């Protein structure tokens, strides 16, 4: 049902008068990563920042007639099926290569350029995703969620004159390009960090001989132990979504666990009563490790001092045995080449990769002596602080 008014309209209003076309992609199991056939975009090709990422690309060979499915420069790409947190990601297609979408993606094609600006529409839908709109209207399924064409079509837009739409799109695309430039610089420092981690976790600090293990080569003096054997506590999140408030007690969601750090924004809160209910199995403490087992898999951080929180969906709490395992070392271990590759190999899920709690408990952990753990953690912490200083410098330049 249309909600058109003097100040607002919905996407269905544009489709009804032929100004907009909304069409889903199609499934194809016959894919390859060798570049044979036509490029088919999947949910992982749309970043959280609304950009197209083709670093991992799937190609398909099909007898299907593709003319009506081929992307055109200026199309809007909407992720219609993903986890609850990621469904609704949106990007603008400003490329010339031939490509189609999987059935988990939707094309929004502006047919009347005098009625709607495609780039403005892409940014607006991305904003709606950031605001949690698609999380609130999605249909829940087993391990995934979806926003069908009917619910997408009912999305309300403000009535903004076309010249103003173009100005907004231009400003936001300029900001997006600046962010992309910063991310390229950050990527360089990330690659340096990965190289350091590979050296530390395969050769150790003293270039000692290696031994082969189930997760690859590790220094000869190290053990490989199951995670649960060096922890006091491994607890999954409550399997309920709290009622979020504008203030109260913090809820740590997977958005807040990034690149080994606890990120305070976006902030989510719940009531004291709900907090008490959510920490019945374990009260998170400073120094405990937060771990994301889905969307994405493998992000981890140490809970900062003076931080009171409960666990959000898809997160876990890990309390190490300090006589065997230092929390900071565990966090860096999750990002190490040997363990991150292992987690990817055992993660399951058709649309969203995830680890089961039992998998996390049994993760094979490369474990040196406590003194070596301290030295490695300090070396990587120094690298992390250098990277954080770079990020803060870039933020100042961008202001």
Contact 90, 78 (CB under 8 A): yes
Confidence check: pLDDT of 312 > 60: yes
**pLDDT classification of 3: cutoffs 50, 70, 90:** low
Q: What's the Cα-to-Cα distance from 216 to each of 122, 206, 305, 362, rounded to whole Å? A: 43, 18, 35, 16
Task: Provide the 8-state DSSP code for 245.
Answer: B
Q: Which residue has the higher pLDDT, 396 or 240?
A: 240
Can you read off the two tokens belonging to residue 46?
A: 């749309």
Topology given in CATH for the domain delimited by 8-160: Adenine-n6-DNA-methyltransferase TaqI; Chain A, domain 2 (3.90.220)
Mean pLDDT of 127-151: 93
Q: How confident is the model over 115-138, as a mean pLDDT?
A: 95
Q: What per-residue confidence (pLDDT) applies to 351? A: 61
Of the chain, the percentage scoring pLDDT greater than 70 comes to: 91
Mean pLDDT of 132-158: 94
Share of the chain above pLDDT 90, in %: 69
pLDDT of residue 59: 96
Check whether 393 has a pLDDT greater than 90. no
pLDDT in tens, 44-82: 999 988 999 998 999 999 888 898 899 999 999 999 999
Whether the bond between 296 and the residue before it is cis, its omega within 30 degrees of 0, is: yes
Domain boundaries, the chain: 8-160, 194-398
Under the banding of pLDDT at 50, 70 and 90, the label for residue 1 is very low
Residue 303 has pLDDT above 90, yes or no: yes
Looking at per-residue pLDDT, the higher value among 2 and 186 belongs to: 186
**H-assigned helices in the chain:** 11-16, 118-130, 133-137, 149-153, 162-203, 272-278, 327-335, 337-346, 357-361, 370-398
Topology (CATH) of 194-398 = Adenine-n6-DNA-methyltransferase TaqI; Chain A, domain 2 (3.90.220)
Pairing state of beta strands 144-146 and 139-141? antiparallel
Nearest to 89 by CA among 43, 138, 54, 131: 43
Number of continuous H segments (helices) and E segments (strands) in the chain: 10, 26
- 334-347: pLDDT as tens digits: 999 889 999 999 98
pLDDT over 90 (residue 92)? yes
Range with the poorest average pLDDT among 12-26, 160-174, 191-205: 191-205
Instruction: Give the total residue count for the chain.
Output: 399
- pLDDT at position 384 is 59
User: 244 vs 195, which has greater pLDDT?
Assistant: 244
- What pLDDT is attached to residue 394? 46
194-398: same fold as 8-160? yes
> Burial level of 290, CB count in 10 A (0-12/13-18/19+)?
buried
Q: What is the dihedral of CA 83, 86, 87, 92, to 10 degrees?
A: -150
More confident residue, 3 or 245: 245
At 396, is the pLDDT very low, low, confident or very high (cuts 50, 70, 90)? Answer: very low
- Mean pLDDT on 344-357: 82
pLDDT: is 388 or 302 the higher one? Answer: 302
Q: What is the mean pLDDT of the chain?
A: 90
């Amino acid at each position: 049902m249309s909600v058109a008014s003097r100040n607002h309209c919905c996407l269905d209003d544009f489709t009804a008068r032929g100004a907009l076309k909304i069409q889903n992609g199609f499934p194809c199991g016959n894919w390859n990563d060798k570049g044979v056939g036509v490029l088919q975009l999947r949910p992982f090709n749309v970043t959280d920042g609304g950009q197209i990422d083709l670093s991992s690309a799937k190609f398909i060979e099909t007898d299907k007639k593709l003319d009506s499915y081929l992307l055109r420069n200026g199309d809007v790409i909407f992720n219609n099926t993903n986890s609850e947190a990621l469904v609704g990601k949106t990007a603008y297609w400003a490329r010339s290569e031939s490509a189609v979408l999987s059935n988990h993606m939707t094309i929004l094609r502006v047919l009347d350029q005098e009625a709607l600006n495609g780039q403005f529409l892409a940014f607006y839908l991305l904003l709606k995703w950031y605001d949690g709109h698609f999380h609130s209207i999605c249909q829940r399924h087993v391990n995934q969620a979806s926003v069908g064409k009917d619910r997408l079509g009912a999305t309300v837009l403000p009535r903004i004159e076309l010249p103003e739409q173009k100005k907004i799109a231009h400003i936001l695309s300029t900001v997006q390009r600046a962010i992309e430039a910063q991310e390229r610089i950050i990527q360089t420092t990330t690659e340096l960090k990965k190289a350091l981690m590979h050296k530390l976790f395969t050769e150790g600090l003293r270039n000692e001989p290696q031994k082969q293990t189930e997760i690859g080569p590790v220094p000869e003096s190290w053990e490989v132990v199951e995670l649960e054997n060096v922890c006091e506590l491994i607890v999954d999140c409550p399997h309920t979504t709290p009622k979020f408030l504008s203030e109260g007690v913090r809820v740590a969601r997977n958005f807040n666990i990034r690149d080994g750090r606890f990120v305070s924004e976006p902030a989510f809160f719940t009531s004291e009563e709900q907090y008490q209910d959510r920490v019945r199995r374990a009260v998170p403490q400073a120094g405990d490790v937060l771990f994301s087992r889905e969307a994405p898999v493998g992000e981890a951080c140490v809970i900062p001092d003076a931080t009171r929180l409960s666990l959000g969906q898809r997160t876990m709490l890990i309390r190490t045995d300090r006589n065997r395992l230092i929390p900071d070392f565990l966090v860096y271990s999750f990002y190490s080449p040997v363990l991150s590759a292992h987690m990817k190999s055992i993660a399951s899920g058709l649309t969203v990769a995830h680890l089961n709690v039992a998998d996390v408990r049994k993760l094979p952990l490369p474990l040196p002596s406590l003194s070596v753990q301290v030295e490695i953690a300090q070396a990587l912490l120094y690298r992390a602080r250098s990277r954080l200083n770079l990020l803060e410098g870039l933020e100042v330049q961008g202001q």
